[in-house]
Amino acid sequence: MREFGYERALDVPGAVAVAVADPDVRFLGGGTNLVDLMKAGVERPGRLVDVRELPLDRVEPTPGGGLRIGATVTNSDLAAHPEVRRRYPALTQAVLAGASGQLRNMATVGGNLLQRTRCGYFTDVSKPCNKRVPGSGCPAVAGEHHNHAVLGASDHCVAVHPSDMGVALAAFDAVVTYETADGPGELPLADFYRPVGDSPHRETALPPGALVTGVVLPPAPVAARSRYRKVRERASYAFAIGSAAAALDVRDGTVTDARLAFGAVASRPWRARAAEDVLIGAPATGETFAAAADAELAAARPLPHNAYKVPLMRNLVVALLTELTEEATR
Ligand SMILES: Cc1cc2nc3c(=O)[nH]c(=O)nc-3n(C[C@H](O)[C@H](O)[C@H](O)COP(=O)(O)OP(=O)(O)OC[C@H]3O[C@@H](n4cnc5c(N)ncnc54)[C@H](O)[C@@H]3O)c2cc1C
Ligand code: SF4
């Protein structure tokens, strides 16, 4: 491992000033992804600025009736928070579906959103990878891609974003807040991750040196009836091969409101707006749910070894929405 500097951030402006002045600085949350990547030689920061003692560790109500979640709230504390459990249950379920208890005790909200892909070529420095070394190529397209993207990818990169938490946040219109040398800013989660295009190494729309300070969830009554479902290759402690967060309001057999987002199918948590458009106003039946999934998955461009994800996501959506409908009409 290379030598690197380490310091604890004492306040937000101080942390930002250090990062803006030196592009070799990385913020350290729980370190559960960054330190692994440093050991593998994928990340080679000159200095780490530990943000865990910044006063960003609270989950608080917003004046508008939503919730503000600080960037250093741990995954465990977020999942256990009574207001999250009551008002956004799919978020609790998504967080608890990720990693292990020990990791969730360390991992932070900011770090979870900014964790890097698990693509095996990205984490192996002996291989080319456009995301790690721009212009070096993407061996996954013709190689190992069974858990890669079917939506929104490009020939330059077909990696998926691994976060479970992000999928629920995407379904609920979360807004990421950040701080730069020029002051505070915010990005809807829908705009937080950049489209892959020909520059997969540029993953987010954050300005250079920006510190993520938190996530704001707007009020969403429909979210109180929400669920997260994750498909993985073993029952626990594994990343998703497909997942979905959904919320549904059903009145007199008709869908009156719906939220749907997919995980492990794209370079970012994927808000399924085409599916939502089919759902809202339609009868809450299996046929509608399948049509909604088909509308979203019409844009899928699978590769030879990940085509299974298209029927997997269709079945997952139908099962999840059927469960939510049964719950709503019970
Ligand atoms: C074995 C294993 C299994 C896992 N399984 C899952 C899973 O099933 N689902 C899932 O979602 N995740 C899973 N994870 C990933 C885990 O959730 C992430 O490693 C974790 O959420 C990252 O949070 P962290 O605070 O440790 O981030 P760190 O490792 O500290 O940082 C990650 C990145 O975020 C940046 N960063 C951190 N905080 C900030 C901030 N406030 N502002 C700006 N940049 C910041 C860092 O510079 C770094 O680039 C797994 C991890 C492991 C090791
Ligand atoms: S899919 Fe993306 S991360 Fe994986 S090898 Fe290709 S460019 Fe790298």
Residue nearest ligand 2's atom 2 by CA? 157
Question: CA nearest 263: which of 229, 299, 296, 236?
Answer: 229
Mean pLDDT of 28-51: 98
pLDDT bracket for residue 235 (50, 70, 90)? confident
Which among 168, 149, 147 has a CA at the least distance from the CA of 157?
Answer: 149
The structure's pTM equals 0.98
Task: Quick: pLDDT tens for 297-321.
Answer: 999 999 999 999 999 999 999 999 9
- Per DSSP bridges, beta strands 25-28 and 47-50 are parallel
DSSP-assigned beta bridge partners for residue 107: none
Pocket of ligand 2 (CB under 6 A): 117, 119, 121-122, 129-131, 138-140, 148, 157-159, 200
Q: Is 288 in the pocket of ligand 1 (CB under 6 A)?
A: no
Give CA 248 to chain center in angstroms.
21
Q: Which ligand is located closest to the Cα atom of residue 201?
A: 2
pLDDT at residue 2 in the model: 84
Please tell me the number of the ligand nearest to residue 24's CA. 1
Take residue 82 and report the two structure tokens written for it. 């009574």
From the CA of 132, give the closest atom in ligand 2.
8
**What spacing in Å lies between the alpha carbon of 25 and ligand 2's midpoint?**
24
The answer to whether the beta carbons of residues 121 and 143 sit under 8 Å apart is yes
Provide, rounded to the nearest whole percent, the portion of the chain with pLDDT above 90: 97
Enclosing H/E stretch for 48: strand 47-50
Q: Which of 28, 30, 71, 72 is nearest to 47 (CA)?
A: 28
Q: Chain-wide mean pLDDT for the chain?
A: 97
Contact 121/164 with Cβ under 8 angstroms? no
What are the pLDDT digits (tens) for 138-177? 999 999 999 999 999 999 999 999 999 999 999 999 999 9
> At 70, is the secondary structure helix, strand, or coil?
strand
128 C-alpha to ligand 1 centroid (Å): 23
- Atom 3 of ligand 2, residue of closest alpha carbon: 122
Calculate ∠ Cα 193-105-225, nearest 5°.
60
